[in-house]
Structure 1
Amino acid sequence: MTWREPTYRLVDGERIDGAWCHVWRRYRPDSEYFLDDLIVFADGAITCGERTDLAGLEKMLATGHLAVTDPATPPRPDEPSKWSSRHGEPLTPEGFLLEVADRIEALSGRPTAGQRLRDAIESFQQEPTDSGRALLRAAYRSVPPHLRIYVLGDMDRQDRPLRILLTDIGDAVDGDGPVVTADMHQDVVDYFGRGDEGVRSEQQRRAVLHADDPSGPGRPALVSHETVYPQGWPEQPGLFMLRNDFPAPVVLAGESYASVSHGYWSLSAADASDRSRIRDAASGREAHELGGRATRRADWPHVRLGVMAELLRAKFTQHPELAEVLVSTGDATISYTGLSDSPFWRDIADGRARNWMGRLLELVRSELVAQRFLRPEGPNVLT
């Protein structure tokens, strides 16, 4: 079963995360099946034509209202040998119920069957007793049967080490496999030990390669809202100063612009007379509207990011008080929202958003801090 994320629903303003997959559904026992979406949510709610829960889903599967595989597809032939097979168990309604329950656990942030199995393996390694093996067997059986071959992440041996370990000495694995010996059990324990050592080695390697990763969580994301001040911009500094239409004159390539918006839209125009009109606009909003109507330079899509970056550098290096506002945001992700700018520049709640303005503001912020760090006085001035 292929699950797709993310999806969600809102309950009293709270976002409940979900995931969805395809199932086959029919309205009546004598009607045709059709493909439909089954959506599960972190709170246990399930929708597929109607709202239900795990118990309701079990009933829908038992009555044939839902099918987990295409009913028109012939069943897969039985494998001649379970031990030799490279395929997982067939997907069944019972296995699908286990998978849905597991998906709910994952969405709600609780341990999944796979995670509980790994914990049981670790516990058995520390204390390889009969009771530990019984707990390991129970954890293994809680994994949906059609997914068990993936639980160890080893596509060569698949889940065979577990099947060997959970088979009593003197019995054949899967009934048609090798007869288990004490040496085979020990080989599996050693196999898990080698895997743990490999994980530790990779963690140590990543610690070296990723040594400059942040050591803890950063600040919460900062949202830069589009603002309107009919009575004029406030005198006290605030985050509104990050907006491109804030009236902070910038000089770039020998030309002066009343704001970043004036500079960006003026430089985008192909005609010199349009560039002058946009540069002299009464406000950043007017410059934006004039620039949107003007014919753009043919190479503008290729240079606009670089031009915007240079305009932002000019704004914050030529106005130290604005630089202080930007630096004060620390390492927070900057979400630049609004309605006027295109999705290329702003952050919106769909797949079109690129949030390049927020990303460039973060870049310039880092450059400002780095400049302070690299001053002749030394690194102690870093804020």
Structure 2
Amino acid sequence: MIRNRVTYRTVDGVRIPGTWRHVFIHNGRYFLTDLRVYADGLVDCWGLVTLEEFEEKLRSGWVATDLPDGAPAAAHGMARWKFSEPRSQLTPELLLAEVKDTIDQLNDRPDSTGRCLAAVDAFLEDRTEENRALARDAFLAVPVTKRRFALGDMDRKDWPLRVLVAGPGGRTYLSFDEQVTQEDYDRALAYFEERSRLKAEWQTRTSADGPATPYAPAVHLPPFAAKERVMDPGLRGLRNDYPAPITVGEVDYPSVAHAYWALSLARPEDHDAVATADSGAAAQEIAAGAPCREGWEQARTAVMTSLLRAKYEQHSELAAILLATNDSTLLYEDVYSSFWGESGGRGRNWLGRLLELVRSDLHMHRSGIPVL
């Protein structure tokens, strides 16, 4: 299901990734709708339900895999029609297996295909009939609609797999396949041995660059108003308006927020008023009524990056808090700016992303990695 169909829902400010496909539901007539599957195991098909509740919707026919000839159907806002000689590749069992696989994929866990290939590897390491039986069971647990794609080989499809798990003299799951000969079996073994060789060769060529996605849970940085520093600010210390004075050039600013809004202004007198405002929020309010520097919109992310680097270089205790977030995605909540922050799952979250960049800078310096 995953492919390029990406969606999400937001829970307590955290995005739960998901994907979707089209299905029919039977609610009086048959309606074409979206089936959304999320990483936390919940499924949305005209209502958010657990996997067990979704299975019951399948068993009852409310989520329809059997489409009767002549039955009325509709797609909301698009069209109405009647089925004429409908053909469905799905059954309740296949769709449920597909959804379970999708949940595994969204959590970077081995799905039925991954478990099958692991069982095949175990058999190739120790070629006992017991291990072959385990590999055969794992292969047959892959939804039949996905078996041909298990090896990612569009020339051979699943031929080597079904021959390997059947064994010499055995029968595959396809009725039109003939009995597996020793020659067929040897060819299948040779296929997997060559596949293993190429995989090992590829792994030696690929550098260990690290995971593509964070291993730590996302971190939410909610708004916090503070005029004075505290002994242990926690995540509040990562907010731009937290009173951590920074020096930029020869000018001292009470916080990153003061510096950012002051530097955005064209007139020196406005700069000074913002730089001495009572709080970061007050600095932003003053800046909102003053003319901005020319070209500021195109330069603002670079300016913000420099200010964040100054903050964490000049405050080691706050740098320690940022480093403690590990590789988490940082969600910087901002109800006023969908550019800098996010709110309710909406927004570009540039501040969160720049904080992750500065965190990487800190790790680089601590590790002594040279910069060219």
TM-score by shorter chain over 0.5 = yes
2:348 is the alignment partner of 1:350: no
* Among candidates 287, 301, 322, match of residue 291 of structure 1: 287
Maintained 8 Å contact 2:58/2:92: no
SS in 1 for 2:58: helix
Maintained 8 Å contact 2:259/2:307: yes
Give the aligned partner of residue 279 of structure 1. Answer: 275
Maintained 8 Å contact 1:20/1:38: yes
Unmatched 5+ stretches in structure 2? 68-72, 74-81
2:316 is the alignment partner of 1:323: yes
* Among candidates 227, 231, 235, match of residue 236 of structure 1: 231
Distance 1:187 1:136 in 2: 18
1:188 Cα deviation after fit: 0.5
* Residues 343 and 143 of structure 1: CA distance in aligned 2, closer, same or farther (over 3 Å): same
Q: Deviations over 1:48-68 (max 9, x none)?
A: 44763424413317xxx6137
1:97 Cα deviation after fit: 3.8
Q: Deviations over 1:64-84 (max 9, x none)?
A: x613789747667xxxxxxxx
Give the aligned partner of residue 67 of structure 1. Answer: 65
* Residues 342 and 163 of structure 1: CA distance in aligned 2, closer, same or farther (over 3 Å): same
- The one-letter code sitting in structure 2 at the alignment partner of 1:326 is A
Give the aligned partner of residue 182 of structure 1. Answer: 182
1:19 Cα deviation after fit: 5.4
1:1-383 alignment runs, 5 A limit: 4=5, 7=8, 20-28=20-28, 31=29, 33-39=30-36, 48-49=45-46, 52-60=53-61, 66-67=64-65, 72=83, 90-103=89-102, 112-165=111-164, 166=166, 169=169, 174=174, 180-206=180-206, 209-210=207-208, 213=210, 223-229=220-226, 232-236=227-231, 238-239=233-234, 240-317=236-313, 319=314, 322-332=315-325, 333=328, 335=330, 337-339=332-334, 342-354=337-349, 356-365=350-359, 367=361
- The one-letter code sitting in structure 1 at the alignment partner of 2:299 is V
1:146 Cα deviation after fit: 1.4
Single out whichever of 301-310 and 96-105 deviates more from structure 2: 96-105
1:9 Cα deviation after fit: 9.3
Maintained 8 Å contact 1:268/1:296: yes
Aligned-pair identity (%):
34
Maintained 8 Å contact 1:5/1:20: yes
Q: Deviations over 1:294-353 (max 9, x none)?
A: 333341122112212222334444x4xx22331354352473634465233235441424
Higher relative contact order, chain-length normalized (CA < 8 Å, sep 6+): 2
Distance 1:219 1:26 in 2: 41
1:187 Cα deviation after fit: 1.4
* Residues 175 and 281 of structure 1: CA distance in aligned 2, closer, same or farther (over 3 Å): closer
Distance 1:292 1:176 in 2: 74
Aligned residues: 343
Unmatched 5+ stretches in structure 1? 77-88, 375-383
Q: Deviations over 1:2-41 (max 9, x none)?
A: 685555698xxxx99875432112323xx3x221233557
Maintained 8 Å contact 1:54/1:101: no
Distance 1:43 1:243 in 2: 29
SS in 1 for 2:151: coil
Distance 1:45 1:99 in 2: 14
1:257 Cα deviation after fit: 3.2
SS in 2 for 1:144: coil
**Structure 1 length normalisation: TM-score?**
0.70
RMSD: 4.2
